[in-house]
Structure 1
Amino acid sequence: MNLTHHLIVAPVLLPLATAALMLMFGEGRRGLKAVVNTLSTTTGLCIAIALLLRVQAGGPEAFGIYLPGNWPVPYGIVLVADRLSALMAVLAGAVGLAGLLYALARWQHAGVYFHVLFQLQLMGLYGAFLTADLFNLFVFFEVLLAASYGLLLHGGGAARVKTGLHYIAINLMASLLFLIGVAVLYGVTGTLNMADMAQKLSLVPASDRGLLHAGAAILAIAFLAKAALWPLNFWLPPAYAAASTPAAAVFAILTKVGFYAILRLWTLCFPESAGDSAGFGGEALIWGGLATLTFGAVGMLASQQLARLAGYSVIASSGTLIAAIGFDTPLLSGGALFYLASSTLAGCALFLLVELLERAREVEADPPEMDDGNYALPAFFDAEPPAGTNLDDDEEALIGRAIPAALAFLGVAFIICTMVIAGLPPLSGFVGKLAMLGTLIDIGTAPAWTLFALLIVAGLFAVTALMRVGIRHFWTTQDRPAPRLRVVETLPIAGLLLALIAMVWQADAVLRYTRATAESLHTPTQYIDAVMGTWPVPNPVAASGAAP
């Protein structure tokens, strides 16, 4: 076992150790906590990227299996790094780093344990994506949810408390259903290891098949509630709108955790080879996803606040993904995974932009100087208009006016987010939707054509809603002074936008990766054989024959 093998457990242990270390710092020393948090989060992202590169280099059947307790499968904890979990870990690290950098400007000072909760949130996310058994999936779910409760209430205020109680109540109910579903499945199969469970499903007698389906359905409801499936998503827009900006940005990936769990278990346990259980619940996923996509698109069109609009865009994204995987088509799932990465990064960037755009609308005529050591974006040089230039009623030049750098940055960032979320060419949102649309035409069924039409209509609704917001924020600002932005607030947004542009630049390579991921998911025997064929590391003392 070499050092790179231990990278699989590092994303879980690193934030846990970082959170424990920062607790030792006490309630003060926030500057030191910020440095430690940033270093740890950046390292976690680098480790996730290393895992992704490792599984990519290993080919379609590459799996990294780690036994933390060195117990044989299926009796001990198992962590698995495959194409899907590595992709989700990279997205979690990228979203986490962006939210943290943004919080360094203001929001880290709004509460005592922000940095600790943030690291526990990352630990839960990484663990949920890497674990290979249902019980530990439940544990990591609860870790990330407990941290999200604190982050949602971070900063205080009546709105956060009210929506936070709704958020906590629905997630506690989902967790209860999670436990019930796990208990039923354990009673039927006698195991909690996902690979072992998938292997034993064919041995379940016909008399217990109904109980098996009931347990799977209860578990699916718990995951779909977390994935914001309609009508279980009423809590999401107000909760995400009320949350602090960095917390809402990180929450952009929380619904994807529920989607990940559905995708992992559904393709693993109910493939075409599952006999009477093959494709169980596929129709429900398709029509539930279509309803969720419709609800999200209409919600975006009806929203008057940008924060709520961003929340509904997350719902529309979740509905698109759930409906797409319900068709059980590898090519469609590959396009959906590309769309997943694109929509997650764009949603995170949009949530970070919300506060900056609202602050720009409320800027004072003479903004105060920043005294906290952060530099503001400079304004472009505004020279006197040359002689003969056309002037308006205030004797100001109609053409050649300098655009302040802050306003230009906000405008460009908002346009890119709009194009990605709406699926307009040539950015990554268009590539993901185009990959799905082409496959839906080939499928040709009524549900496929319905999803085809809804993807186009939802894009139209999204671009209409976002253009309306853009007009309100950018075309009616002539009487307001230029906003002042901190560089540390703009860096994470710029990084996310560059990642979205890089996805277009390397669209063919990313699509190959996501399609290979989908092929691996729809061939579950590869996952099952890799996990069940892993053996504990021999005791070196016992192997050498020496006395203990």
Structure 2
Amino acid sequence: MNLSQHLIIAPILIPLVTGALLLLIDERQRTAKALVGLGSTLLLFVVALGLFRFAASIDGPDAAQQGVYLLGNWAAPFGIVLVVDRLSALMLMLSSTLAIAALIFALARWHTAGAHFHSLYQFLLMGLNGAFLTGDLFNLFVFFEVMLAASYGLLLHGSGLLRVKAGLHYIAVNLAAALLFLIGVSLIYGVTGTLNMADLAVRVSTVGPEQRMLLEAGAGILGVAFLIKAGMWPLNFWLPPAYTAASAPVAGIFAIMSKVGIYVVLRLSLLVFGHDSSPSSGFGLHVLLIGGLATIAFGAIGVLASQALGRLAGFSVLVSSGTLLTAIGMGNVGITTGALFYLASSTLTISAFFMLIELVERGQDAGASVLAVTMEAYGDADPDEEEQEGDLGFAMPGTMAVLGICFAACGILLAGLPPLSGFVAKFAMLSAMLNPIGGDTTAAVPGFVWFVVFLVILSGLSALIAMTRSGIRTFWASMEGTEPRVLVIEVAPVFLLIAATLYLTVQAGPVMRFMDDTTRALSAPQQYIEAVFNARRAGVPGTEVQP
């Protein structure tokens, strides 16, 4: 094995070892724990970047010999395999980028608000990275549970009545999802006799008619577990309260957790149920399409109805998930390419927005939002309004100006307005929806596609209205408030994530080509299957297992 292949296990080992080491350091040594945690997260980003470059270079006849790590030197499907391809490398880059930003933000004050924050944070990263890299369903369940266990502690971090209430609901819902996960995996194993994803993709087409119903029932139950995590309607009522109640840095890293469900659904739908020759080809796509549209509608209504910025961000997560599920459900390569671009852009934006909200609300009076809503609804006029007509305005404090620029950028990104990456992503998806397959310009666009286009545009309009209303109320309304005290390490992570979206905008061409290569590789799963089965055991030449 070369160094790049050994790096595949590093995103799991680094946070695992760091989290265990941090448990041995006394809680009073906060600076030491912070430095160790930050160093580990920076190293994780470097490794993720290396794996991203490695995955982008995988091509040609040698592709089947790269990107697979055999744990314990056992060949698939008997041993545990870790697989890095373009999709998993993309998710690793996203999670490591968000991890750095959220951790830096937490170092201002949140990491001292409770015990074992840094250990829980590292274990969360371990679960996330393991879920993206694993090549079998059983270990997906293991990493899923590690991720959830750490998220329980992080959501409750900082205590408070609302946080504990939302945390208990979050725990109950996710325990139910874990139970469904286990039931679904058990049914699939009972029918196929394997949990290795590559082996499952081969065996699913050989399942007889008498067993196929049981297989699809297991896949459906497994899908429900991940759709709960992705936030698909009507399984998403827990998400806005939980994400709103979480502390700002925790909500920032939670932005990637809903995408774990999206990742697994996309991976399994194309790998296991993407074969045209299989009777189960396209299984569940219509459910994803209908559920995604319902989620977009529900999220858009929630965005318009939200008066608190935290709930607005929580419902924006649902709009993002609904858009991605709809794109997957349409089963079009071009739409999926745009959806991957949208996944990266929306995840970065929502994470930055969650952290920005705390900074913006820090200087607001506790009753200002309520008073602003009352004035907006009943038109309460200022008694000195006539005297103030000649005023030219007021000088906005410097801190509020910086926060206002960041807020405006988040609003443009969430609404999908030009010229930022949110617009590029939505334009790519809508263009693929409206362009006929095969280039036949005489073919009529189906009616439901027009409805999808309308709903996606409407969700962007709802975000624009809500963000404009909140921005005016926060930055321009004449409410009494104080200029918030904001540290550089609190603003820097927000700038970092917004800068990442700017990079996506400037480099839209190369990034879109990478997303297109990713989609085409997912749509041709034979390369993934061959890579897993042809992975050679170290020191044992010629040990390939033919699928």
* TM-score over 0.5 for the pair: yes
Task: Could you tell me which runs of 5 or more consecutive residues in structure 2 were left unpaired when the two chains were aligned.
Answer: 368-385, 437-444
Shift of 1:486: 0.4
Task: Give the gaps of 5 or more residues in structure 1.
Answer: 365-391, 544-548
Amino acid at match of 2:525: P
Q: Structure 2: which amino acid aligns with 1:398?
A: L
2:255 matched to 1:252?
A: yes
TM-score when normalising by structure 2: 0.91
SS at match of 1:230: coil
Structure-1 residue corresponding to 2:526: 525
Q: CA deviation at 1:354?
A: 1.0
User: Structure 1 60/233 Cα, relative in aligned 2: closer, same or farther at 3 Å?
Assistant: farther
Q: Partners in 2 of 1:491 and 1:404 — Cα distance? A: 18
Shift of 1:477: 4.8
CA contact (8 A) 2:4 2:54 kept: no
Which residues of 2 match residues 289-328 of structure 1 at below 5 A? 289-328=292-331
Counterpart in the other structure of 1:423: 416
Deviation of 1:107 after TM superposition, in Å, equals 0.3
Mapped to 2, the partners of 1:243 and 1:406 lie a distance apart of 24
1:447 counterpart = 2:448: yes
Residue 143 of structure 1 deviates from its aligned partner by 0.4
Of 193, 209, 212 in structure 2, the residue corresponding to residue 209 of structure 1 is 212
Aligned match of 2:392: 398
| 1:177-234 deviations in Å (ceiling 9; x for gaps) | 1001000100111111000000111111111111111111011001101100000000
Deviation (angstroms), 1:55: 1.2
C-alpha contact (below 8 Å) 1:286/1:447 kept by paired residues: no
Count of residue pairs the alignment pairs up: 513
Q: Distance in 2 between matches of 1:317 and 1:36?
A: 33
Give matches, 1:129-208, under 5 Å: 129-208=132-211
Query: What is the alpha-carbon distance in structure 2 between the residues aligned to residue 478 and residue 530 of structure 1?
Result: 61
Normalised by the size of structure 1, how large is the TM-score? 0.91
3-state SS in 2 of match to 1:66 = strand
Q: Distance in 2 between matches of 1:200 and 1:275?
A: 10
Please show how residues 209-228 of structure 1 align to structure 2 within 5 Å. 209-228=212-231
Q: 2:43 aligns to what?
A: 43
- Following superposition, the deviation at residue 397 of structure 1 comes to 8.2
Counterparts of residues 266-415 of structure 1 (less than 5 Å): 266-362=269-365, 398=392, 402-415=395-408
Structure 2 residue identity aligned to 1:433: K
Task: For residues 381-439 of structure 1, give each alpha carbon's deviation from its aligned partner in whole angstroms, at most 9, with x where no partner exists.
Answer: xxxxxxxxxxx979x9837x654321111001001101111100000000000000001
Q: Which residue of 1 aligns with 2:377?
A: none
AA aligned to 2:225 is A
Shift, 1:4, TM fit: 2.2
**Residues 343, 60 of structure 1: CA spacing in aligned structure 2 closer, same or farther, 3 A cutoff?**
farther
* Contact 2:304–2:466, Cα closer than 8 Å, also in 1: yes
Q: Is the 8 A contact 2:205 2:279 kept in 1?
A: no
Deviation at 1:515, TM superposition (A): 1.0
**Contact 1:363–1:481, Cα closer than 8 Å, also in 2:** no
Match of 2:73, SS? coil
Q: Secondary structure at the match of 1:538?
A: coil
Identical amino acids, percent of aligned pairs:
53
Separation in 1, partners of 2:59, 2:451: 35
| Rounded Cα–Cα distance in structure 1 between residues aligned with 2:205 and 2:185 | 18
What pairs up with 1:227-238 in 2 under 5 angstroms? 227-238=230-241
The 1:408/1:522 distance shift into structure 2, 3 A limit, reads same
- Cα distance in 2 for partners of 1:171, 1:152 equals 13
Contact 2:333 / 2:519 at 8 angstroms: preserved in 1? yes
1:34 matched to which residue of 2? 34
**Please, which moves more after superposition, 59-68 or 419-428?**
59-68
Q: CA deviation at 1:45?
A: 1.1
- In 1, the alpha carbon distance for the partners of 2:387 and 2:43 equals 56
Q: 1:257 to 1:161 in 2, by over 3 A?
A: same
The Cα offsets for residues 276-328 of structure 1, whole Å up to 9 and x where unpaired, read as: 11101111110010000110011000001100010000000000000101111
Partner in structure 1 of residue 465 of structure 2: 464
